Structure 1
Amino acid sequence: MKVDSHILNNFQSSIEDLEVDLQKMTELTINNLKASINGLIQRDSAACSSVIASDDEINELEKDIDQKGIRIIMLYQPVASDLRLVTSIMKVSPNLERIGDQSVGIAKRARKMNKNPECPESSLTQPLHDLALSQLENAYLAFKNRDVELALEVKKNDKDLNLICKELAKKLTKKMESNSSRIKDYLDLHYIARSLERIGDYSKNICEDAIFLESAVDIRHGGELPESENS
């Protein structure tokens, strides 16, 4: 059956619009993650406030992507790779929204800490943040470029992020035991570390969507790629 060129053009335009929204949402999410930790390390409360204020835009983009995706499915009834693209974008956006929420949580804790004397241990979160940020950036690149190899690498690196978080938690626990006067700050830093660990988990989810988009294989819950694709 011959597809009307006008309908096809409208469909392609709708897909491109969806991809643009996802890119905007990703850029905002990455910028907010950067700003939240800068707010902590550089004691920049204005940066913290900007993260909190701009989170509404991330939330709105998630709703827009969901509504546009549903409209595309209902109007054009895409199949195969086109359907996977639409549904995968709709699955990625909630993970970005959750990462945005974690960045807001970090910003709120950082802004609270900035009212107190500087806490030298804040810098201990920097390696964890750097890896969490790299994981998010690479997860989006894997999705955008349909790069299964990169997606698998990000999933593998999540173990390193979890290990860094675990080691940081041990250090903070020791600090609490030796310096109880700053226990509130150490608890805030522990919360921030857990938020960064969760961001890694959400980035891993995005990689699973990237793999499904390219290979049509669902590797969640222990699923695996065929040997030829996993080599």
Structure 2
Amino acid sequence: MNNKTAFLFDLNGTVIDDMHYHAEAWHEILTKDLGADLTWDEVKKEMYGKNREVLERIFGKGHFSDDKIERLSLDKEKYYQKAYKPHLKLIAGLQDFLAKADTHGIKMAIASAAITGNIDFVVDNVDVRHYFDAIVSADDVSTSKPDPETFLKAAEKLQTAPKDCLVFEDAPKGVEAAQNAGMRCVVITTAHPAEDFKQYDNVVGFIADYTDPYITNYFSEQE
């Protein structure tokens, strides 16, 4: 860490452990409402990136009108938020880590493939918006992870060089996006085991949550 270091956090599975609820929402929409012949595991495998990208991967481009995609997206997010809100909380140890990073003057951003409404739903309900100097959502980029645009835009907003950014991610596509952006990455193993990331050379550590000694000792080791 140096005085230019910035932290970039993915949201789902990284700030909150909610991927099961997204999977439930997508499974409901895709299999019950739209009749897709997909197993639970197949739904989980396909539900990355923007909602439009998910639908187009499964049904093909042009299958739905823009208005239909917008309605399906809204239905999915309503289902997700209703199901997850009673369980909404930060991943263990993150509150203390954010507070400590803030006292050290570390610039921080949310850099997520989530839509703005879902990011607002999280950061406002757990009261952490004040820790973040920038937020980049799916609505701010043209191409989702593993394209580096999300992380590069966050770095630009923080006025920080990519090499000085430390990304916190839970998904291989996100780690690949960080690698494509020239950024180091800490992996939170909420959704994937460490072996799913062996092809990436930008991973500097693995943690189960933010109570891991790698995180709790982070600042003392830098001093």
Tell me the TM-score normalized by structure 2.
Answer: 0.29
Tell me the TM-score normalized by structure 1.
Answer: 0.28
Structure 1 or 2: more strand by fraction: 2
Larger-Rg structure:
1
Structure 1 or 2: more helix by fraction: 1
